[in-house]
Amino acid sequence: MSEKLEKCSLILQDGTVLHGESIGHRGDVDGEVVFTTAMVAYPEQMSDPSFEGQILVFTYPLIGNYGVPSETELDEYGLPKHFESDFHCAGIVVAEYCKAPSHWQMAKTLDAWMQEKKFRLFRVHLGRIVQGKVDGGTHGKSFSDPNVTNLVEMVSVKSVKTYNEHGSPRICAIDCGLKYNQIRCLCKRGARVDLIPWNHPINPDEFDGLFLSNGPGDPSVCKDTIANIRSYLNSGKTKPTFGICLGHQLLSSAIGCKTMKMKYGNRGVNIPCLHHDTGKCFMTSQNHGYAVDPITLPSDWEVLFTNINDHSNEGIVHKNLPYFSTQFHPEHYGGPEDLEILFDVFIDLIKSKNKTAKQCLIDKMASPIPPKLDRPTKVLILGSGGLSIGQAGEFDYSGSQKLTCSSTEYVKSPSSYNTNHLRCHLWKNTQFVSLVNNTLMKTTT
List C-alpha distances in Å: 64 to 44, 109, 159: 12, 7, 35
User: Looking at domain 6-131, which CATH architecture does it have?
Assistant: 3-Layer(bba) Sandwich (3.50)
pLDDT of residue 143: 66
Indicate the length of the chain as a whole number. 445
pLDDT cut 90: percent of the chain above it: 58
For 239-267, write each residue's pLDDT tens digit: 999 999 999 999 999 999 999 999 989 99
For 423-434, write each residue's pLDDT tens digit: 434 344 444 444
**Are 57 and 33 in contact, with CB atoms under 8 Å apart?**
yes
pLDDT of residue 434: 42
pLDDT of residue 208: 98
pLDDT of residue 396: 57
Average pLDDT over all residues of the chain: 84
Helix (H) or strand (E) holding 34: strand 29-36
pLDDT of residue 300: 97
**Are 54 and 34 in contact, with CB atoms under 8 Å apart?**
yes
The span from the CA of 92 to the CA of 119, in Å, is 8
pLDDT of residue 69: 95
Where along the chain do its domains lie? 6-131, 151-365
The span from the CA of 433 to the CA of 337, in Å, is 33
The span from the CA of 398 to the CA of 93, in Å, is 46
pLDDT of residue 173: 99
Rg (CA), the chain: 27
The span from the CA of 269 to the CA of 332, in Å, is 8
Helix (H) or strand (E) holding 130: strand 126-131
The span from the CA of 155 to the CA of 175, in Å, is 8
Q: Which residues of the chain have pLDDT under 70?
A: 1-4, 120, 122-144, 369-370, 373, 380-400, 413-445
The span from the CA of 333 to the CA of 9, in Å, is 32
Contact partners, residue 174, CB within 8 Å, separation at least 6: 196, 198, 200, 202, 210, 211, 212, 213, 225, 247
Cα angle vertex 221, ends 45, 326, to 5°?
A: 50
pLDDT of residue 130: 52
CB neighbours of residue 259 within 10 Å:
20
- Note the CATH number of domain 151-365: 3.40.50.880
Contact partners, residue 440, CB within 8 Å, separation at least 6: 380, 381, 382, 383, 416, 417, 418, 419, 421, 422
**Nearest residue to 157 via CA among 85, 246, 63, 80:** 85
**Nearest residue to 163 via CA among 44, 49, 76:** 76
pLDDT of residue 427: 41
pLDDT of residue 423: 40
**Are 105 and 72 in contact, with CB atoms under 8 Å apart?**
no
pLDDT of residue 122: 67
